[in-house]
A and B are shown apart, each in its own frame.
Chain A
Amino acid sequence: MRLLGNIGRRTGQRLLSSVPALLGVVVLTFMLMRVLPGDPAVFFASGPSAGQEEIDNLRREMGLDRPIPEQLARYLLDIARGNLGRSLTTGQSVLTDLRQRLPASLELTLSALVIALGLALPLGIAAALRPNSIVDHAVRFVCTVGVCVPTFVSGLLLIYVFYYLLGMAPDPTGRIDIFAANPPDITGFLLVDFLIAGDMEGFQAAASQLVLPAFTMALFVLAPLARMTRASMLAVLGSDFIRTARSLGLSRRRVILTYALRNALLPVITITGIVFSTMLGANVLVEKVFSWPGVASYALDALLASDYAPVQGFVLLMASIFVMVNLAVDILYGIADPRASMS
């Protein structure tokens, strides 16, 4: 109970201390968007007959005719009220868009992360157990290939082979077959929603849509995870307590999984946190290739159109997620290694 209270108090403190950082991010993105060349009013008033008057009207409507400090003050006030503005690209409020699209990105990123960890941990351990062996070299090769091939290349390649040539994968457009029915919108995570609705057929359909994009992303982040596992395992395997454990005649399995791996996990957790945050923001190419309706491709489209509100909203969302992930990583530290406290 004390421990929980402790975690709660510290969590509160951490969240509070992240407010200035978030504020900084908001102000910075706000300024950055306005420094970039390209006027959203001109871009969006590009109908066949839109003239200067339409551009001015649009600018007035978006508040772009006011001085920048006033625009910033209004924007901050809007955020405080939970209003992130309206996207001209989709015509909806940014909050609605993000709320609809974030589950798609999270679902994809989390699945990719699970796949990546499921592959990287065994590979890393195997490599660490026999450094410089064939196994080690093979793992190094797989990792290098994974990190070298850009995701849009591996994505298109996977589509070409598994969809176009073999016809094994469903058509790579979005989260669910376009002709199939959607599950009730409960959490926004299709897999979870299908489970709640008890629709196993739908669950399977959604999962099969997820496989290719998730593997594409997992391949890309395999390298940092596997390499970090290997390095960290090597260091731990050479330490005194492992020698002691071995000399006491404990089973090999117990030595490696219980004693070595648990101690080696701290840096892996750190890197996993970082990898997760990067994936969420950087999976724009995967989202584009697989028509995944996620937040990253949304932000890219908005950026290309100089659509201020969605980009600012996206950056704020990413910053908040980063704060949460860091927090989660710190809590996981405490579980993996009780000596590491959360201060």
Chain B
Amino acid sequence: MKFGRRQVLQGATGAFGLPALAREASAQSRAETLRQVTGNVINTLDPTMPGATRESFGLSMNVYDRLVSFGRKPVEGGMAFDHGAIRGELAERYEASPDGLRFTFHLRPDAKWHDGTPVTAEDVKWSLDRHVSARSLAAPQLSTGSLTKPEQFRIAGPMTVEVLLEKPDRLALSNLCVPYAFMINSKLAKRHATADDPWAQAWLKENTAGSGAYMVERFRPGEQVILRRNDNWKGGADGKLPFFRRVIAQTVPEAATRGNLIERGDADLSIDLQASDIPAMLQRGRVKVVSIPQTNGFTHIAMNTRMAPFDNVKVRQAIAAALPYQDMFQASIFGQGRPLFGADWVESPPDGDFPQPMPLSTDPAKAQRLLSEAGLPDGFETSFAFSAGLAATSEPMAALIKESLERIGIRVEIQKMPDAQFNTMQAEKKLAFFSDGATAWLPATDYYFRLYFTRDQRWNFSSFNDPEMNALTQKAQFERDPAEYERMARRMIAILAEKAPELLLWQPNHDAVMARNIEGYTYWFHRQVDFRDLRRV
């Protein structure tokens, strides 16, 4: 049994018969407290631990600083992150060398860890070393930005750190903005390191050693986390402190209850309510809903390109022509999002941004013709799978797919699978035809395609293997000429449209439901709440 300092204090006052005092002390002004309710859990304070939930990433953004941070920009519906504008966070500023092989970070001279000790270049070096050396989720992520070994991180002065690259990787700097690249108080962490665990992974799972805007006051895995503002924080965009002094992130499994709590004004914010409840809430008008398309994600239908009959490109194109996109968009997410179908370009997309609408439209006659050309005029039998966790949106979609494919002779059996089973089958490439969602932390076109359409790895859902695509993604990663990069990006998108290993459907809205007096909500790439953006007016 472990006791936090706070519990012990409460215990002491309680034992002396002064419980009211303890309650008064903890009852800070409600207005300066933000209460978030979520259906999911935070299971670790170290986001690089295998099994870390998405909520753990969100927490880590608030408790730790990274060297740099993405900016924010207004988008349709509200604010979203801006991966094109990277600013210093724990670093006051940074410089890139002209050849793109060296980044120099100048740390904030007045930055302090939560325990009050100053931040030094040694701490930063240790943290970066940890993320590329320790066995964790960080190393594979940072390797996507060519950050792979401790020799790449050099202390260039008491408050200066250099990151060295062998090739000018376009994503090296972006990778230092993700939750995995958090900066640790190395002196504190090293005190809890052991011979078996030189990076203090066991300790950091349950404790924090950061410099971020919030400090963990109480952490009950699976129940709640209570944060207290760090009044010495210097990493904000304008140097200002976040508005909320206290943040409570609480797990409330039932979506209807979460909705009730916010409507009653007892909770302030939830980002995982049921989409079907939101229209009624808007009508009652007691809450505010911020709906922003998930700009770095897409819902798709994947076809396993190594499994008959989907190994035949004509079959994939036939299915692409047969699906009722508009109906699916309405039935599945009530049209709440940005469609990624229905574009009218033919050979090449208008720009290199991804995801962008693809030239997908419903044309049953064309589907029938393609199927005949594929040598399957009478159709075939297959199954369409989705995970139970996404049933609310995937089930109506599956029914429409079954109905529309039946018209061209393809008989579909719908398979709804428990999440763990679905994930396992997906990773083992045993699913032929299925729907899933995908997001990328770093929304760069080459990164998407490298992650989702190349190599023999889990996220290549369709097991796509196209020599031109493979070459393009490898080359684009180190391309420094923007025009040339744009050309390559457009070509990758064109290949996806032509070969149809996956059909992009839409970017569902990220719905944040909040009390009407909460302002500043921003959609982040990790799809979690950044408490530092929020304020009550």
Contact = CB atoms under 8 A, between A and B. Distances in A.
A163 B140 contact: no
B257 A159 contact: yes
A101 B137 CA distance: 29
A234 B46 CA distance: 63
A89 B41 contact: yes
A37 interface: yes
Contacts of A163: 260, 264
B424 A52 contact: no
A197 interface: yes
A49 B248 contact: no
Interface string B194-236: 0000000000011000000000000011111000000000000
B141 A38 contact: no
A293 B264 CA distance: 22
B109 interface: no
Nearest to B456: A52
Interface in B1-28: 1, 3, 7, 10-11, 14-15, 17, 19-20, 22-23, 26-27
Contacts of B282: none
B22 A181 contact: yes
Given A42-B423, A185-B3, A306-B420, A167 B10 contact: no
A198 B250 contact: no
Contacts of A61: 50
Contacts of A305: 419-420
A274 B33 CA distance: 45
A37 B140 contact: no
Interface in A79-129: 88-92, 96-97, 99-100
A52 B7 contact: no
Contact of B263 (A164, A172, A185, A297): A164
A197 B14 contact: yes
B11 A291 contact: no
A47 B52 contact: yes
A184 B7 contact: yes
Contacts of B256: 156, 159
Interface string A261-292: 00000000000000000000000000011110
Interface in B233-249: 248
B117 interface: no
Given A37-B424, A52-B458, A47 B252 contact: no
Contacts of A333: none
A288 B253 contact: yes
A54 B136 CA distance: 8
Contacts of B78: none
Interface residues of B, number: 65
Contact of B140 (A42, A53, A91, A97): A53
A39 B417 CA distance: 13
B419 A304 contact: yes
A292 to B, nearest CB: 9
Contacts, number: 190
A39 B424 contact: yes
A323 interface: no
A54 B141 CA distance: 11
Contacts of B51: 44-45, 58, 88-89, 91
A241 interface: no
A48 B141 contact: yes
B208 to A, nearest CB: 14
A91 B44 contact: yes
Contacts of A179: 26-27, 30, 33, 248
B254 A51 contact: no
A306 B425 CA distance: 14
A89 B254 contact: no
A43 B14 contact: no
B85 interface: no
A49 B141 contact: yes
A47 B458 contact: no
Contacts of A45: 50-51, 137
Interface string A158-178: 011001100100011110001
B330 interface: no
A46 B248 contact: no
A38 B418 contact: yes
Q: Which of B3, B22, B52, B205 has the most CB of A within 10 A?
A: B22
B137 A50 contact: yes
B374 interface: no
Contact of B251 (A48, A58, A92, A291): A291
A134 interface: no
Given A43-B423, A89-B222, A180 B23 contact: yes
A92 to B, nearest CB: 5
B403 interface: no
A91 B53 CA distance: 10
B441 A48 contact: yes
B424 A43 contact: yes
Given A38-B420, A49-B140, A291-B253, A160 B49 contact: no
B420 A304 contact: yes
Contact of B135 (A57, A92, A301): A57
B266 interface: yes
Nearest to A88: B51
B37 interface: yes
Contact of B137 (A38, A54, A88, A304): A54
Contacts of A44: 50-51
Nearest to A174: B223
A25 to B, nearest CB: 22
A202 interface: yes
A202 B260 contact: no
Contacts of B37: 173
A38 B17 contact: no
A99 B1 CA distance: 9
Contact of B252 (A58, A156, A173, A198): A173
What 5 A-B pairs come out closest when comparing CB atoms? A38-B420, A184-B11, A44-B51, A199-B19, A306-B420
5 contacts: A58-B50, A89-B222, A92-B206, A97-B221, A288-B254
